[in-house]
A and B are shown apart, each in its own frame.
Chain A
Amino acid sequence: MQSVSRPKLIKNIVILGGGTAGWMTAAALSKALKPDNIQIKLVESEQIGTVGVGEATIPHIRTFNSLLGISESEFMQATEATFKLGIQFKGWGNKDSDYFHPFSDFGEAYQQINFQNLYLKAKQAGLKLPFDNFSTAIAASREKKFCFAQNLPPPLLNNYSYAYHLNATAYARFLRQYSEQRGVKRVEGKVTAIKTKLPDGDICSLTLDNGKTVAGELFIDCSGFRALLIGQLLKSDYQDWSHWLKCDSAIAIQSPLHSSPHPYTQAIAHQAGWYWHIPLQTRCGNGIVYSSQYLSDQQALVQLQAKIGLSKNARINGPIRFRPGVRQRAWVKNCIAIGLSSGFLEPLESTSIHLIQASIFKLIELMPADNQFALARAEYNRLINYEYNTVRDFIILHYYLNQRKEAFWQDCQSIDIPDSLKHKIETFKLTGILTENQQGLFFKPSWQSVLFGQGLTPKQTDPRADLMTNQQALDFVLRYLDKQDETVRQMPGHDCWLNQIGVMRQ
């Protein structure tokens, strides 16, 4: 509904919360907006901790950093970052399964015939290798190798992308410095009251425990799970997705790095969830994600400590509770929720930072000049919902498509998954076809990696693939493999590359 108040220019933007979401938003807005035109204030309290465990990213973060004009080496040094070529999933199909979701395509097409079809034909001719053997990113990951694709000589493959593992607290600190240099004003304090105005109910100011008042025309709620503005004040409905995503808790522990860092995240399934392992330059981020219905906090902690071989003295972050889901409207009145306040699925597939970034980009695109923004708001909410829904289906897929015997996993197998996902799985199973949209986060190779990795093989191939006999297809995929091996052979070790480009912290 159109706001009934008279148009009022936006001159002050207030961001509530200074975690990763808050400072990412502040940094992006400070880059786009000049402080003498629109002032940005960020309210945070040193007394309130941040979740700060989102340490694995996906390649889109590079677009964000480049929007800010951040130098990669400066960023990597500040955040102790390492490179990431994908995620290793252990024990997700059955207990022994081990596959990768890489930031790359699989194989190469022939006469516009998708590689998947050639692979399936090669299998009929006796190929025994799993699908994920045909990815440069995966092959390099397994060898702990890395370099930028453009640094490889031309005849070699350069069909992969990369992201980072980073220290999320350091990233927020880095972005804070960036933002403050560009005029963002940090205001210390805890919110004690929120003032709204009539007749539209828009937020007009926040009152802090130290007596300060922070006024603005646009408010960004980055207050995390508490969702102070969007949830507690504006009562934006939360769509609960916990019937699809059963994990609701996480515990994080840091550990020393014992060997050179591998360029991939590990997601290792356990009886009631999974562990993460994220190697930074000098330490590892570890954690356990679990369903509290199937595993107690105490059991989860003991299991995690045993898994990483740490003493009980290690600093523990958690248990962190979450309810998978999304706000039906992330933008209500003059308040936009970004980060955990707008929704959270779970840490799998490292989508948290991406969803923050996607929200920021949409906001920058639709940034209103004044308080008359009803259509822009509706468009923003539509786009953010679309983004969350596509990520949701992909995450559910990992749980649904398992062959494990434990009660938690058995229950995951029997959930009534969303129709959109049901349709996608059934079509793939019968025909091998994966439908794809122009927008959204996960494209064909991502779906292929999980579907094949967790044991689903299509019954059919594209009839166009019959252009080749099974034997010809086998020869084709093996020739590709040779090219891939040669590519990986010429890549340096991940740690060597980090040293070579001068980003390794001494």
Chain B
Amino acid sequence: MKILILGNNLAAWMTAKALSVYSHFEVTIAGKKSSNNLPAIQSALPYFDEYLKLAQIPKNEFTQQVINQPLLAHQVMTNINNASQQHWFAFSEYGAPLGPLEFHQAFARLKHNRWVKDDFCNYSLAVLQAKHGKYQVSSKNPNSAYSTYVNGYIIDTASFIHYLQMSCPKVKQLDAIPPLTAAHDLIINCSIAPSKMPLTANSISWLEPSCQKFTGQYHKTIEMTAHGLLSKLALPDNKNMSQCQLTLNHLPDALSDDQTAINRIVAQYTQQASDIRVSKQLTPAENQAFYRASHIAFDVQWQQLKSWSYSAIDTISVFIVNLFEHFPRRNDNQKLNSIFTEHYTKQIQSLQRYDQLLHAIFSKETNNNSINLFKESGRILQLDPDLIKPDWIIGLLMSFDIIPAKCSPYANQLTEAQLVSHCEKIKSVFNQKVKNI
């Protein structure tokens, strides 16, 4: 089967690598090398493991060949009423349940009655590790405390592309796009040009020198600024540079093409910025991956969607996993289009919901269903599909002191002393574990 991938970019190479598992596929990548305006360093959610599995990339090979490190947690820094605060949350469970009583409900009761002064995040083994700059691979044994978390990744984009190119030597490369004839059974277009719809400037990204203490940490920092959320990622091997991304609340269109104005904004955060880029994109509601009669389309804009929580690598992974689940024999298989787009869009929407949660917290939105249900019942909306686990969302909400307004009936039937003892036991076990790493 002959497969032509249009666009010599990260999405194209990630797709080619996954396809190269099947030796009977003749894969060609066509197009001039394009960075796709991608940041030098990107984070990836734990979902990236699905891609690694699909592309049959062993984790140890990925660790050795690609500049990367595990991402355990997020650290959000706020400055409210001149008091600076840190909010930590991770890809993890928190504490341990007591029968039908979930840990966050037990914690909420103690918090209501001022029995705990501790932060909820200190009951996550992943957060504790991240705070101490330590990392232990998570365990698959459900009885192990190390099974309570998973990790995402911090990835050097160039190194990842280089690895992909080196590890699939059979993929042919063409600089120019060949005439789209029947010579190929399947065409996957990873370089669809931005559509004519109006684009809005969404983020500014740049590189800046890393401060010593930040380099080599297992977390992403996010700061609430006047312009929006500023997230920072660093890798120890990345020439001591941090990738910064400012997800803008609003940037007038007139300013988005004015480099001087952009530089002025960046200068408010650093004097040593390099590689400053502005990303524009469509509104998230647009479908930007679909099967067409002539090709499978994966819009460049969609690959560049900027968020504090997910990256191009995440949207590309979702695209590829869905492509493989709905693998067409030819481009004219319209039957698969609706299933593919439905699944793909729902999964991307689940990432967006997670992303919007932090914005909703900052903007004190009153009509956010997830927050309201959590406040009323301590439950997280169960939507299908959801790539973000309920525990991760609970961790995010609780880190901002959004706690269930009422005590769970299961919490009410235990004494406060019992709940405190349970919390202390967990804390002691987790602290010991971190000490031993």
Contacts and interface: CB of A to CB of B under 8 A. Distances in A.
A383 interface: yes
Given A10-B409, A365-B379, A430-B333, 18 more contacts: A31-B100, A111-B21, A111-B22, A112-B53, A112-B54, A369-B408, A376-B376, A379-B379, A386-B384, A423-B338, A427-B335, A427-B336, A431-B328, A437-B385, A438-B384, A440-B384, A462-B327, A463-B329
Interface string A356-371: 0000000011111110
Interface in B1-27: 1, 21-25
B413 A372 contact: no
B384 A373 contact: no
A467 B1 CA distance: 10
8 contacts: A34-B413, A364-B100, A376-B377, A383-B382, A426-B335, A440-B384, A463-B328, A467-B22
Say which size band chain A's interface belongs to. 35 or more
A464 B22 contact: yes
Interface in A416-438: 423, 426-427, 430-431, 433, 435, 437-438
Contact of A373 (B329, B376, B386, B410): B376
Contacts of B185: 463
Interface string B120-159: 0000000000000000000000000000000000000000
B253 to A, nearest CB: 39
Interface residues of B, number: 42
Contact of B339 (A7, A386, A435, A440): A435
B259 interface: no
B379 A376 contact: yes
Given A112-B54, A368-B377, A379-B379, A463 B1 contact: yes
B263 interface: no
A154 to B, nearest CB: 17
Contacts of B343: 435
A383 B327 CA distance: 30
Contacts of B23: 467
Interface in B63-121: 99-100
A395 B273 CA distance: 62
A85 to B, nearest CB: 26
A285 to B, nearest CB: 33
A447 to B, nearest CB: 14
Interface in B402-426: 406-410, 412-413
Can you list the 9 inter-chain pairs with the closest CB atoms, starting with the nearest?
A37-B413, A376-B377, A32-B100, A34-B413, A369-B406, A439-B384, A375-B376, A375-B373, A438-B385
Given A375-B372, A439-B382, A433 B409 contact: no
Interface in A268-324: none
Interface string A20-43: 000000000001111011100000
Contacts of B339: 423, 427, 433, 435
B45 to A, nearest CB: 16
B327 A463 contact: yes
Interface of B: 1, 21-25, 53-54, 99-100, 185-186, 324-329, 333, 335-336, 338-339, 343, 369, 372-373, 376-377, 379, 381-382, 384-386, 406-410, 412-413
A260 interface: no
B384 A367 contact: no
Interface string A375-386: 110010001001
Contact of B1 (A38, A426, A430, A466): A466
Contacts of B22: 111, 464, 467
Contact of B327 (A368, A376, A379, A464): A464
A239 interface: no
Given A368-B377, A433-B339, A33 B413 contact: yes
Interface in A101-136: 111-112
A460 interface: yes
B377 A373 contact: yes
Interface of A: 7, 10, 31-34, 36-38, 111-112, 364-370, 372-376, 379, 383, 386, 423, 426-427, 430-431, 433, 435, 437-440, 460, 462-464, 466-467
A225 to B, nearest CB: 29
Contacts of B100: 31-32, 364
Contacts of A376: 373, 376-377, 379
B102 to A, nearest CB: 9
A358 B130 CA distance: 37
A460 B25 CA distance: 17
Nearest to B407: A369
A430 B337 CA distance: 13
A430 B336 CA distance: 9
Nearest to B374: A375
Contacts of A430: 333, 335
Contacts of B21: 111-112
Given A370-B406, A464-B22, A466-B24, A375 B377 contact: yes
Nearest to B336: A431
A365 B378 CA distance: 9
Nearest to B411: A369
A366 B379 contact: yes
A434 B309 CA distance: 31
A213 B407 CA distance: 29
A204 B429 CA distance: 46
A369, A370, A373: residue with the most chain B Cβ atoms closer than 10 Å:
A369
B382 A367 contact: no
A369 B24 contact: no
Contacts of B386: 438
B377 A437 contact: no
Contact of B410 (A367, A370, A386): A367
Nearest to A36: B413
Contacts of B329: 460, 463
